[in-house]
Amino acid sequence: MKTSMLIFVCVILTMTGCTQNPQQKAALKQNNMKFKQLTPEEERVIVHKGTEAPFTGKYDKFTETGTYVCKRCGTPLYRSSDKFDAHCGWPAFDDEIPGAVKRIPDADGMRTEIECAACGAHLGHVFLGESLTEKDTRHCVNSVSLEFMPASKAAATDTAIFAGGCFWGVEYYMNKIKGVISTEVGYTGGHKDHPTYQEVCAGKTGHYEAIEVVFDPAQTSFEAVAKMFFETHDPTQWNHQGPDWGEQYRSAVFYRYEAQKATTEKLIAELKGKGFKVVTEVIPAKPFWKAEDYHQDYYDHKGTTPYCHGYVKRF
């Protein structure tokens, strides 16, 4: 009887649609990042906050060991060790990866919605006080909002985003790190969608010149990549880097999850302890807009070396 009642309550509450308020719509528009292309059903759930039918999702009774990541942006969200069978028709977890899931009041005024903290993708709802596990928490998640990564592949790649002056020079040094798979320069941190180089340089977008670094955690780490960032630009310079002046040249680390934030703050504290007056900002990751093609791998194509960046050992 208790199981039947739980299923009934889950169906009634979770199948209720959510109405997007203007702030949510604006956030979805802003999050026009490099997302995986979604099927119509995935878009209905992930973007428009719909719900898949109970007992139909592929991860409802799924028990393999690994990590569940966001279907839209690939951010790790849940570990298989925190998954349990709630007999409610949807995948259930009693904990999330720290900093990966955002809780917000649902538009229905009763429930708490959960989103991917990195991209705002709708996941489902979280419920407390059901006494189903010791943590007394149930993340009720749509299978279509998730992608499963087996334990052998869960940490295949990671991504870091930095801003440290002209992105040409930052990219030049990042590509020298063993374990870096790819780099892409672009703009982030501002308020304009699809900015151009001319608009960013004019100081009207709020964007930073930035770089997105994809690396293999089996060969290097976020900390090693971040150290290279701090050692190849001057983190004590504000609104400029060498001879380049402008707000787009600010120093910043755009962290994608809490562990990246903690590592960055640790490195900054270490630098300050050595007497460096670090002005590098530590900011949650924002939409990343790819720069024009001629900016990509600039120094490799030109056959020269950076004029405003150089390696200085600081750690």
Picking from 296, 308, 290, 313, the residue whose alpha carbon sits closest to that of residue 171 is: 296
Rounded Cα–Cα distance for residues 287 and 28 (Å): 10
Query: Which residues, including other chains, have CB under 8 Å from residue 128's CB and lie 6 or more apart?
Result: 136, 137, 138
DSSP, collapsed to helix, strand or coil, labels residue 185 as strand
Q: Which residues are catalytic?
A: 140, 166
The tokens 């002005």 sit on which residue?
279
Rounded Cα–Cα distance for residues 7 and 14 (Å): 10
Dihedral angle over CA of 261, 255, 191, 306, nearest 10: 110
Rounded Cα–Cα distance for residues 263 and 275 (Å): 19
Instruction: 292-299: list long-range contacts, CB under 8 Å, 24+ apart.
Output: 292/196, 292/197, 295/167, 295/168, 295/185, 295/197, 296/171, 296/184, 296/185, 297/171, 297/175, 297/183, 298/168, 298/171, 298/172, 298/185, 299/168, 299/169, 299/171, 299/172
Q: Find residue 92's DSSP bridge partners.
A: 84, 140
Phi, psi for residue 64 in degrees, rounded to 5: -70, 160
Please give the structure tokens belonging to residue 17: 């649609």
